[in-house]
Amino acid sequence: MTALIFIIFAGLAVFCGINLVVQTHPIASALSLIGVMGSLAVLYLQLGGEFIAAAQVIVYAGAIMVLFVFVIMLLNAGAEATTFQVSRFVKYLGAILLAAFLGLISLVIQAELPATEGVLFGSFQGTALDVGRKLFTTYLLPFEVTSVLILIAIVGAIVLARKEV
């Protein structure tokens, strides 16, 4: 059952990821990205990282992507026009090169990755309590530094967007 759900949502994530690149319309691409994030949230949930899954949906799908869609709608961006013609030769060669590239990557991963027992479903300790503990003990410094970084980004954005008075 868990394996089946994993296959469904992993497949969905890959499909949405490909769709994101293939689609010419910005809104369709943005929605595909939301699909990827939703599928990833399900995978996190399966691993036991329930808080991470919820945060993924709230922050990425619910806040950041809404902003993306908002901007696309505001600019009223239309479908992207294809300006170049691709010859048949390039298409075939590209397919072969892509296959070779993927094979190379999987070979490297196979060779380099240490033989572990793999990750089990639900083995990850990801309740809100655990994540909170870790954030405020082990990872306190990176956490605070990241917040300061984001604060700087926000202040910078306001300074850049400010109207000249």
Per CB under 8 A, residues contacting other proteins are: 27, 31, 34, 50-51, 54-55, 57-58, 61-63, 66-67, 69-70, 73-74, 76, 127-128
To other proteins, the closest distance from the beta carbon of 164 in angstroms equals 20
To other proteins, the closest distance from the beta carbon of 4 in angstroms equals 16
Side chain identity at 156, as an amino acid letter?
Answer: G
- Nearer to other proteins by C-beta: 20 or 27? 27
Q: Residue 31 corresponds to which tokens in the numbers above?
A: 């929605």
- Nearer to other proteins by C-beta: 71 or 100? 71
- Nearer to other proteins by C-beta: 78 or 103? 78
To other proteins, the closest distance from the beta carbon of 38 in angstroms equals 8
- C-alpha distances out from residue 136 to 87, 129, 131, Å: 56, 11, 9
To other proteins, the closest distance from the beta carbon of 145 in angstroms equals 22
Helix 65-75 × helix 26-47 angle, to 10°: 180
What does the H/E/C string look like for 58-93? Answer: HHHHHHHHHHHHHHHHHHCCCCCCCCCCCCHHHHHH
- Nearer to other proteins by C-beta: 76 or 110? 76
- Nearer to other proteins by C-beta: 16 or 57? 57
Total residue count of the chain as it appears in this document: 165
> Which positions ≥6 away from 49 have C-beta within 8 Å?
124, 126
To other proteins, the closest distance from the beta carbon of 112 in angstroms equals 36
